[in-house]
Amino acid sequence: MVSLDPRLIYEARRRIGSWIWRTPLRHSRGLSRLIGGEAWLKLENQQVTGSFKPRGVANKLLRLKAEAMPRELVTASSGNHALALGYLSRMLGFKAIVVVPHGTPRVKIDAIRSFGVELRIHGSEYMEAEEEAKRIASEENRIFISPYNDVDVIAGHGTIALELLEDQPHIDVVLVPVGGGGLISGIAVAIKALSPKTRVIGVQPSASPVMYESLKRGRIVELEIGESIAESLLGGIEADSITFEICRRYVDDFIVVEEDYVREAVRWMLLKERQVAEGGGAIGVAALLAEPDRFRGKRVAVVISGGNIDSELLLRLLRG
């Protein structure tokens, strides 16, 4: 059975402390009224590069640097992981190729290029970009940095839970966005080690509920991917991904939300919380908007995983 020692998460926090920011946990009055309880927002949209991703990437690259591993890297990403890799590669002296799928928001593409990485656009969705990145890794003898299927990356992401429970120890439920599962895997391991009664619930868009369907069927499955503004959560899962087993062991439940609620969540974050959140980053709020009675009277923490949304899309959402 695949497992992750919680001590690796504490080690990750010591390792990455000077490279990432401790993000705020903010009380939401509006969402608290909605659920008749307490709602707290863990604002990873305020993290370095605008998402939670530098936590895992910093932990991975700092370990590679300490072990004097080769400095030639390649990754695949729908945007936020690539931003983190670009930023930290430049800071730590690595050279990286980043493969993104067509349809990656312009705001993310421009930001990735600004870090001086070699950007390649390949495929219509994430898994096609990942296959291309692995081909490059094999042919050019580069190290492939997975956005989710890597113990070091997962441990780095788990540091979010350490901060969350230090700021608010009495949490009943944590809502976490899920794509490949790297974020929720790290958070769930840490939560269950420190607060076993706290429920960890993953949230996915109806356009790409791959982890939810895989767990329901007992194996990793392929699904047809639809369109969504939660593009950071779209795509499949590697056949050997360790996140599948970690989610099966530590994650309590999943919620799949329809696109209208994702759009409303982005609007809510800007208009009610004065926070810019991308679709995938706000999807935990979408779950509260869609099913408030499910959380009635509970203390709920929502991980706002990123804020890198295209400005034109945001304006369209605000216009309704």
Q: What is the mean pLDDT of the chain?
A: 95
Q: pLDDT-based confidence at 108, cuts 50/70/90?
A: confident
| Confidence check: pLDDT of 1 > 70 | no
* Dihedral angle sign, alpha carbons of residues 53, 59, 65, 68: negative
**Which residues, in sequence order, are CB contacts of 208 under 8 Å at separation 6+?**
179, 223, 225, 226, 228, 230, 233, 234, 235
CA atoms of 163 and 315, how far apart (whole Å): 33
Average pLDDT over every residue of 258-276 = 98
Residue 320's pLDDT is 75
Residue 78's pLDDT is 77
Structural domains in the chain? 6-51+150-319 (3.40.50.1100), 54-144 (3.40.50.1100)
**Residues 44-85: pLDDT tens digits?**
999 999 999 999 999 999 999 998 877 899 999 878 999 999
Q: pLDDT-based confidence at 235, cuts 50/70/90?
A: confident
Active-site residue list: 53, 305
What strands, in cross-sheet order, belong to the sheet with 25-27?
25-27, 38-43, 299-304, 173-177, 199-205, 253-257
Residue 42's pLDDT is 99
Q: Which residue has the tokens 């059975």?
A: 1
Average pLDDT over every residue of 245-255 = 97
